[in-house]
Amino acid sequence: MNSLVAFTAFLFLTSLDVDAAGRAFALMSDSSYPSFANTPDEISIGILGSELTKELAAHKFDKKALGDVIDKVIYQADLDGDSLLDKKELALWLHKNELENKAAEVKGDFWDHDGNEDALITFQEFGLNGGLDHITRTEFKNRFLLDDNKLNYALLEADHPVLDGHGGPSLEGIIGRLYKIFKAVDANKDGALNWEEFIAFSYPDDVEEIQMLASGQEYRKYDENHDGRYCINEFRNYYSKHVSIPELLPKEYRTPDRMFNACDKNSDGFLSFEESDSCFEGHIAIDHRESEWLIEDGDKNGDEKLSKEEIVDEFHTLTEDDDYWHDRRDEL
């Protein structure tokens, strides 16, 4: 859970240098940036998925083996049967791989933290079983648990300064913020996280409400007048930032104005965050930018789709020329 703690600590300390931290966080969370760097190892995981990447690695990235693997990708990702991948098909395929990769990354943590093996993780289990980098099991027990093993809610829910008395990050502040995230992703409010909730807890930057809790941000980014809702102009900005492949949305959502009207359930001319989130749920979680970026890079004939040959040529060039694969071929 190192990444979760580091992410939360970073956000908790943003008040030390608001401008620098804001620039860094924008790079981390802005959906206009690819969520993986332009390196073959991460591109392979994104396009192929972890299992097909392992299969390709077993063949030392031979070009024929790459073609066979890409055949499998197209067979699974091609929805209209034209043997090509358009932006929508590629975005859905990348999203599927992303979810699987995230689940694989946190699976070990889930079982490590689940002390009583009931497939649920309480915050006590999280703290006592290795979830926190900055504190030992004993320290967590002594500082954040009461004698009856219940959480010290007064300490966890209090407001804490950014820095402690020695000028370092406030441990109480970091762990208190983690506890707020924990409560926010605990959808059924049973005091424990199931598998799906734990994945959301592990990736708090994926959900704007969780980002707000992690950073202490009071207002949403596109709520320009800070009134806790979106007017039509604010929503247009929000929509244009998140949606570049309208085909990924239901037909009635494929322009910002149509989506605004469809989601304004009480017809008051505004969208509450609840109304907006309800409409966007499951749609903007799919990254619209990565598939555009990959097609722009690999599309040689200008049809805005990727063929097997285009993927093989682009991918093989990367794996042949990049130092990453050159240095690691024997390992793989």
The answer on pLDDT for 245 being more than 70 is yes
The answer on pLDDT for 235 being more than 90 is yes
Position 67 scores a pLDDT of 82
Q: For residues 172 and 160, is the Cβ–Cβ distance under 8 A?
A: yes
Position 28 scores a pLDDT of 28
What rounded mean pLDDT belongs to the chain?
Answer: 75
Can you tell me the mean pLDDT for 164-179?
A: 82
Lowest pLDDT segment from 12-26, 183-197, 239-253, 290-304: 12-26
Q: What is the pLDDT of residues 260-292, one digit of tens each?
A: 999 999 999 999 988 888 787 766 666 667 788
Can you tell me the mean pLDDT for 97-123?
A: 86
Can you tell me the mean pLDDT for 99-111?
A: 82
Position 49 scores a pLDDT of 62
The answer on pLDDT for 19 being more than 80 is no
Position 15 scores a pLDDT of 34
- Going by pLDDT thresholds of 50, 70 and 90, the confidence category of residue 60 is low
Position 43 scores a pLDDT of 44
Can you tell me the mean pLDDT for 307-332?
A: 61
Q: For residues 162 and 170, is the Cβ–Cβ distance under 8 A?
A: yes
Position 37 scores a pLDDT of 34
Centroid of chain to Cα 187: 18
- Going by pLDDT thresholds of 50, 70 and 90, the confidence category of residue 29 is very low
Position 242 scores a pLDDT of 81
Position 123 scores a pLDDT of 94
Can you tell me the mean pLDDT for 226-241?
A: 92
Position 72 scores a pLDDT of 86
Position 47 scores a pLDDT of 62
Can you tell me the mean pLDDT for 208-231?
A: 78
The answer on pLDDT for 3 being more than 70 is no
Position 219 scores a pLDDT of 75
